Structures are given as C-alpha cells and as structure tokens.
Structure 1
Amino acid sequence: MAEGNHSTVTEFILGGLTEKPELQLPLFFLFLGIYVVTVVGNLGMITLILLSSHLHTPMYFFLTSLSFIDLCHSTVITPKMLLNFVMEKNIISYSECLTQFYFFSVFAISESHMLAAMAYDHYIAICNPLPYNVTMSYGDCSLMVVGVYGIGLISATAHTVCMLRLVFCKADKINHYFCDFFPILELSCSSTVINEVVGLCFSAFNIIVPTLTILGSYIFIIASILSISSTEGRSKAFSTCSSHISAVSVFFGSAAFMYLQPSSVSSMDQGKVSSVFYTIVVPMLNPMIYSLRNKDVKVALSKLLEKRSFLGR
C-alpha cells in the first residue's frame, strides 16, 4: 500500500462463504445461477417498464431505480465471490477491496432509502389519491431518486474515508466473501473506535430512518384500507402493497441483524449467512416479487410478447 497510509499490507485474502472443498463447486453453480437470474430479471424489469407506456408512472419509476440498484449491488459482490469458489486463494488488492466496499455501501444504503421512497409513494397513492399526480410529479420523483443516491454516496464516502485511517500490519485474511465493514475492522492493528462509532451511527440512520418512514406510511395505509367498504377495493390495495412489504422484510431484517449490533457481539459466520440474503438473494427476488404479484407487469409482459410475436410473422 502507499507509504502515506502506514501499512505493510498491500493485498487481502477473502475467506469466502465456506472453506469446505466439497461444497465449493456446488455453491459456484448455485450462485452463478442466482446471478444469471438476477441480471436477467432486473434488466428485464427495466426494459419492460421503459417499453411499456402504461407503466410510466411514479411507482414504476421507483421500481426501475430499484432494479438498477439491485443489478449493480449484485454485480459488485457476486463475480468476485464466484472466483473464490474456483480459486485456491482469492486475493484482492487493498485498493480493490476499498473500491468494492465503497460501491457496496453506496448501493446497499441507496436500496434502503429507495424502499422508503416506494413506501411513501404507496401512501400517497392510497391515502391521498386525488392530488397524487401533483404530489408525485416527475420532477418531485426525480428529486427523491437523486436524494436517495445522494445519501448513499455521502454515507459510503464517510465509511470509506474512515477506513483509510486504519493501519493493517500482518493479518491479511478477511473472514468474509467480500470486503465488508466489520471483517475489515477485525484485521486492523490500530484503534477502530472511530470507525465503529461512525459505522453504527450511519447504519442506525440508514436502517432506522427508512424503517420508520415505511412503518409510518403503512400505518396510514392500513387505516385507509380498513375504511374501504368494498372487499374488492381492499383486496386491490393490499395487493399493491404486498410485494413491497415482502421486499422490505427480507432486506431490512437481514441488514439489521448484521449491522445493528457491536462487532464484539455479532458472529461473523452468522453475518455471512445474513449477508447472503441482502447482497445476493434480495436482488434476485425483487424482480420476481414485483412481476409475479403484479397484474400490471403481467399485462405489460404479455402485450410485449404478443407484439414481438406479431412483428416476427
């Protein structure tokens, strides 16, 4: 590493998800399959929304952004993880490690706030439907998305700048399948108190604030749904929100388990399992959740396939 950083470590070894040789190949094919489904699903969702004019609404504008985040989030982590299954030692340079950590932080934090923005959109659509088009105008939605990415960039920059002050002397094996916050801290031979305080504060903000926004939105949404006299109306409203609730539950549950506890309390082996959910499984599941449980997406897909079939004749 550069002399100004006062470290003798120039590269790290990623420990991977497991050290059992008999599991390496099966896990490689499993996660390769998951990654292919993730890429196809999220690119497919983005393409479908862009090509279907009746999906050009605020809800699907946010969904396009979520699919982009999921695609990037998975791409930052999974390819390097796949290498770990087929190589004897998965070496990553110091600069590559911090770069991976930075972009992982950007997209993970952005996803939490994007899910909050989507909950607010549902709240406006169900609780205040008349001024919906004014409240959720294209300009306002664009500002919200820019704000989401802005929070992700600021938080990730703060985390990474704090990482630069750490000194790494001898230990070079990261007990994880990617360069994450706590596994990197464990290797430092300098004080990590500042990093842990900054990390806990930002993690609390980026998990608790979106969670409260989502909970607040759904309290009003549920109250509004219960006041609907029509059974069909209630069913439609619940159907609109069910996909989002599923995505939120998996993402925030696994992220909170990993980050909202001190490093002395958390088990890194448990953390790996938790990390698999929000870094690999969630980006794969989101397109499925929003397509399989959404009539508008199904209709748009069938129309697009019919159009391609007609043009192909």
Structure 2
Amino acid sequence: MQKSITYLSSLATVVVLGVALSSCKDDDPPVKPKVSVSAATMTVKESDGTIEVEVSLDKPAPKDISIEYTLDGTAVDKATISGNQAYDYEITEDPGEINIDKGQSKGVIKIDLLSDSFIEDPETIEIQLESATEGIELTRDDEVKITINQEDGLIVALYWPAPTSTAYADMDLLVRIGATVNNWEADIFNGSVQETNSGPEFVFFPKAWGNAAYGMSYTYYDGTLDPLNFTVRFIDLVNGAIEPEAGFQVFTGSYTAANKNKWTDLSTTQVVQTFVTSGGAYSNISPITKPTAGSRMSTARDSKGTMARGSNNYHHGSLVKKLSLK
C-alpha cells in the first residue's frame, strides 16, 4: 500500500512539473524577425536609371514595420544640394525610411541615378541600416556599398596649337540639339568655354541621351594665329575606358583672322559640324564647314543662352587627364 501511495505521489509530481514547464515555454517571448540587406555590394553605371536595394526579413513581418537608414559616400544626393548644383542620385520615395507591410518580408530603397555630361571617376553610395520598429532585430548584414561607374558615351574634343611667344588662340566648343540637323532648339544645350590658349575643350554625350541631332560650334574666340588650324576628335568611352587612339574619328578645320568671334551673344556662333544619334549610336558625322567671315549666324531659333566664359561641363578625374594629352 505504501508503494502505491509513493508511486501516485511521484506521478503527481511529474504531472505538475510538466505543466509548469509547459507554462514556462508558453511564456517565452517570440523570436524576433531579423532584417538584413540582400547584398553587401553593388556595381552599377550612371545610365542604369532606377536601381533597387533590397532589404529582407527572415520571416514575414508580424505587423507594419519601418526601418531607418542613413546615406554616405562620395556620390552627391540631390537632397543635400542647393540651387543648380550638380548631383548624382535622388531618392524620392520616403527618403531615409523603408516600410514593410504586415505579412511581407521584403522592402526596397529605390534610387534614381542621374545620367549627365560629366566625366568622372567611380563614386559610391553607402547605406547603413540604423534602427527598426520595436520587435525587429538588425543583423550584422546592415550596410551596402554601391559603386557608380562612368556611363558609356561619346567624347568630342577640340584641339588647336599651343601658344608661342608670338602667337596664340582661344577656342570655344558649343553644342546645340534639334529634331534634325537643320532645325536647332533656341538655347545652347551644352559646351566648354574655358579661358585657355592651349585646350582642349571637350564635351561628353552619354549613350543614354535621346536627342536626335547635335550641332557643334568650334568658335575662334580670340587670338593672333592666322591661319588657325584645329582638330576635332570623336572618341568612344566604354566601360570607363577611352578607346585606343587608332579608333578615334578625326576631323580638321582651318580659320583665318576674319573668323574670330569674341561673342557676347551666343546666337552669333555658328554650327559647323553635325551628327545624329539613334539607339545610343552616334553616326552621320559631317565634315567641318568653314563659316563666313565673323563666324556669325542669325536665325529665328537662336538666342543668347546662358553659358558664361570660363565655364566647362565636366569634372576632373583620371579619364579627363588622358584627354589633355595631344
């Protein structure tokens, strides 16, 4: 009889202990969903348009959540500039915050990259996840570094003789755009008008741009060279590298003192060479024509524009230095 009582007592103890353990297990806090970036590094080109950085949870969100992040790196965010300063990218949807709806496990940061006429060394965007809604855990995979490489395109470079003790020249390169090579828009589109007697002046045309036709003005701004013989080189820039010199398309032109145009009104500059573009390919490059005396033109579609002497349209980098070698 005593053995039976002891057995029943032991069994009761086991049952009570089991219930207690089960109760403790039920009271344990749920495992927090963990958030991380899907890739630690990304490499893109300026011409890639809108890119997405994916942020993931290891299980569906138990509620609507938000994740805060910060931005750093050498690329310029549009939100940090003022006026007409140049920038490299823009985030228009909830900058600094990622939202993931209940039941979902992924969110994205959409970044709009700017295709521009600058020639630049690689730049970076660095994204750091900083905090998340209560109940969400950040992991060590909380940052991503995006490298933005130079986009592909065409460089047009204008060269002329270096100054001597007795003679010099200063030239400008201006660009118009239009629907055809005979119909230019009113304003100057782009250009390089440094105050220099040695050159080169050059502009960059990204493949991503969709303008149909371009008109080039090579203006003899000032100097004593007569004649002024100059060279224009069309150079492909692909995957961050300038093509071998053997691939350059080279055109020559010659002005006299009668062609000098110390312009104050851009409408007095004349288109002397044209080319067209389709699907990112540039073609039908015309020979350089010699303008009439004074290099002047006057049509209803020309205006003063806004370019000032001493300005150019590119950043200095390792690629730019290569173009300075004649």
Q: Same fold (TM over 0.5)?
A: no
TM-score band, normalised by shorter chain: under 0.3
1 or 2 for the larger relative contact order (CA 8 Å, sep ≥6)? 1
Pick the structure with more strand per residue: 2
Pick the structure with more helix per residue: 1
After TM superposition, the score normalised by the length of structure 2 is 0.21
